[in-house]
Amino acid sequence: MDKLSRRSNLSHIELMKTIDRLPPALGDAYHSIEMVDVIGNIARRYKLNHEEEWELLGIVYDVILGLLPPPAVETEIKNRVRLEPEEAGFVSGELDAFIFNHIRSALNKIYGLEKASKEAEAKSLPDKNTADPYRESIE
């Protein structure tokens, strides 16, 4: 089933302890039927077989458990699911949009990406000393 799942490296007891220690948002996502439905829809859209659908689900579980950083999802999809590279990018984007975006702040805390995320956001904002061309008068 899970060819490369990081969960398979944990004993059953370690896995249960990891799940129990998840923050509420991630625990809810881990046990979410809606998440399984989203993955099922993605699998149908990209014509994945049952095993590949399980692999995709395993990738999402690994991310939620803190075993696979979100930036590595596309690479994992390429390694574990038979898709063209472009399709793997699309699937990764759909997982991000429909699953990971809803739990982004909890994931950032687990992976220590919160500081990096805030720095990237600050860089994307215009400099306060620069005039905003959209707020200038039209005269």
Between the CA atoms of 70, 36, 95 and 91, what dihedral angle is there, to the nearest 10 degrees? 120
Interaxial angle between packed helices 85-98 and 50-64, expressed in degrees from 0 to 180 and rounded to the nearest 10: 50
The reported pLDDT for the residue numbered 137 is 58
Q: Where are the domains of the chain?
A: 6-115
**pTM of the entire predicted model:** 0.76
The reported pLDDT for the residue numbered 131 is 57
The reported pLDDT for the residue numbered 21 is 92
Interaxial angle between packed helices 85-98 and 73-80, expressed in degrees from 0 to 180 and rounded to the nearest 10: 130
Q: What is the DSSP letter of 139?
A: -
The reported pLDDT for the residue numbered 1 is 42
Whose tokens are 């809810």? That residue is 28
Per-residue pLDDT of the chain in tens (139 residues, 90 and over written 9): 445 577 777 888 998 998 999 999 999 999 999 999 999 999 999 999 999 999 999 999 999 998 899 999 999 999 999 888 899 999 999 999 999 999 998 988 888 865 554 555 555 555 556 555 555 555 5
| E runs forming strands in the chain | none
Q: Which of 100, 97, 96, 52 shows the shortest CA–CA distance to 77?
A: 52
